[in-house]
Amino acid sequence: KLGDAMSEFSHTKLRKLFRNYFESKQHIWLPSASLLPENDSSVLFVTAGMHPLVPYLLGQSHPSGKRLASIQKCLRTDDLNEVGDATHHTFFEMMGNWSLNDYFKKEAICWSWEFLTDQNWLALDKNKFAVSVFAGDSDAPFDQESFDLWEHLGIARDRIAKLTKVDNWWGPAGRVGPCGPDTEIFYWRDSSIPPRYFDPHDSRWVEIWNNVFMQYDLRQDEKFYPLGRKNVDTGMGLARMLAILNGYDDDYRTDIFWPVIETVSSITGENYDDQKREFRIVADHVTAAAMAISDGVIPSNKGEGFVVRRLLRRALVTLYLINGRPPEGLLEKIYQIIAEIYQPIYSSIVNPEIRQAIINEEVRYLSLLISGVKKIDEKNLNGEYLFDLYQSHGLSPEIVLDVLRKRGTAIDKDVRIKILHDFQIKLQKHQELSRTASGGMFRGGLADQGEISTRYHTATHLLQAALRKILGNSVFQRGSNINSERMRFDFSYPHKVSEGQLRQIEDLVNQQINRDLPVTMNEMSVEEAKKSGALGIFDSKYGNRVKVYTIGDFSKEICGGPHVQHTSEIGYFKIIKEEASSAGVRRIKAMIS
């Protein structure tokens, strides 16, 4: 028997209420953006609802106005090792509302409170709330206003914690960018009566909603510059809220996971209650992989593709660990259920290509993985051994640790940290040798600001200039995305670019590379930049002073960098594909080698 689950408060109901509430406050509803960030090479995936809105939080005007709301798909891999408990996920959806220099603290806080507690909306128990506000430091003052607002709404002083930047400050995952103090809302997730005092370290108080007041811009020099704008960015995890509304202490009992858990149970013949950790890893990882593939990721050995591969491999091994039988054909069945759950929300989740990609991974790796699992011997455990298992059998460290845990082998925390660290060093050395840049990318962050992406950055400037020379000056950049494997460049152009034109463009770029043109940078005002003929799509993004990069006599563009110093550093440039991106916008994928 599986237990008590099936949500009475469904995910579709929660989605609808959230949307209706913010529409009633004049917000424009935005569909979720892709999991793959546009114009941002600092992280592989979108990690928060605000991520696609960064340019607008920094000052660009948004076509839909100043009040926006959405439920955004997110993928975070930094706490991969936590997945398996009741509340951690790699894939999750974030409900959020935004003010782009419109309303500020008062409206944001009062609306959060009304949505959570009003009988017409979520009707949660007002006595089970606690909040935290920013205590203040040398960068920004104590958030008295939020403190007063909460008190005014009826939260007792004992339930308002004042915390430091570590807890009550938020900025995007790529580190630099819009940020600010936040106020976090906690709910007592336990059947007991909540204590009078709020102790943020008591895990029964769970954070349910974060309101960030994005007034600052954290720049490369690690200083906080006032944005001169009053932005609000809020985020509330959908699965967690759904669990609370249904009185569950386990996110996996909600209706976005439970059918998957039931499927794993019926196809393995095992009980969820006996192997919660394993069931949860499978449900989470297959969901995350399917979502990423539905946004265009292909499993591979680098970048986003590698994240997907790593998630699917771990799901395969975990299924194997559940009952010791090779899980042939199971991933695909699990994907079918996930597709059914999400199809009404994200129609792209139903796609034979996703099914095929998942099958391919199983066919390629299942027997290799299982033979590796059988070889794991805890007596040999050290960084080098982990690296060998990874190289020879595709077993990444978290899988090896899962296997040992399942066998009941206790690994001391310090030992674990040390061997994982040694593994990383071995991996990085190996990657430096093979000149790939996927090292560290799994963790997100700024790991991709390496030499390869710098070369790609400069190549996008050459490409834009070449496109304009061959196709005409109506071509403008509409977006770009770079990782260590390829670049994607979107530009305005009304029809397909012919093969012949593509070859001319490619040749023109390679000629500039062979000319070894110098790349120089000058800082100037936006006005001066425009006068100098520099191209730029994000004029307002960088404030008054901008950097203009000039490549010989060939290209001049406003850009934040980084770039190579001479074009010959780029290497050989090759266009892989040209396709439609959206109406009037074409997309080129290209590689350098």
Q: Which residues bind ligand SER (CB under 6 A)?
A: 48-50, 96, 170, 210, 212, 233-235
**Cα distance between residue 479 and residue 234, in whole Å:** 26
What letter represents residue 272's amino acid? Y
In a 13 Å sphere around the CA of 83, the CA atoms on its Cβ side amount to 28
Terminal CA-to-CA distance of the chain, rounded, Å? Answer: 56
CB of 49 to ligand SER, least distance (A): 5
Work out whether strand 91-99 and strand 224-237 pair parallel, antiparallel, or are unpaired. Answer: antiparallel
By C-beta, is 147 or 209 nearer to ligand SER?
209
The token pair that represents 79 in the structure block: 């706490």
Distance CA 378, CA 436 (A): 30
Nearer to ligand SER, 232 or 452 (CB): 232
C-alpha of 273 from chain center: 30
Least distance (Å) between residue 50 CB and ligand SER: 5
The span from the CA of 105 to the CA of 56, in Å, is: 18
**Please, what is the Cα angle at 339 between 334 and 343, to 5 degrees?**
165
Smaller CB distance to ligand SER: residue 173 or 459? 173
290 neighbors 354 (Cβ within 8 angstroms): yes
Among the listed residues 378, 363, 275, the one whose alpha carbon sits nearest the alpha carbon of residue 326: 363
d(CA 471, CA 42): 30
Assess contact for 65 and 28: CB atoms under 8 A.
yes
CB 175, min distance to ligand SER, A: 13
**Residue 465: enclosing H or E segment and its boundaries?**
helix 451-471
Q: Which is nearer to ligand SER, 96 or 397 (CB)?
A: 96
Q: Which is nearer to ligand SER, 108 or 471 (CB)?
A: 108
- Which of 331, 295, 297, 294 is CA-nearest to residue 313? 331
SS3 414: helix
CB of 173 to ligand SER, least distance (A): 9
The tokens describing 573, both together, are 């440039």
Nearer to ligand SER, 98 or 306 (CB): 98
**Which one, 88 or 302, has the nearer CB to ligand SER?**
88
Shortest distance, position 271 Cβ to ligand SER, whole Å: 35
Enumerate residues 6+ apart whose C-beta is below 8 A from 289. Answer: 299, 308, 311, 312, 315, 358
CB of 204 to ligand SER, least distance (A): 20
Residue nearest to ligand SER (CB): 235
With respect to ligand SER, which residue has the nearer C-beta, 62 or 355? 62
For residue 234, the minimal CB distance to ligand SER (Å) is 5
As measured in angstroms, the least distance from the Cβ of 492 to ligand SER is 31
Give the nearest distance from C-beta 183 to ligand SER in angstroms.
11
Nearer residue to ligand SER within complex by CB, 75 or 535: 75
CB of 515 to ligand SER, least distance (A): 45
Question: Which of residues 234 and 483 has its CB atom nearest to ligand SER in the complex?
Answer: 234
Phi and psi at residue 577, in whole multiples of 5°? -160, 150
Dihedral sign of CA atoms 547, 551, 553, 558 in order: negative
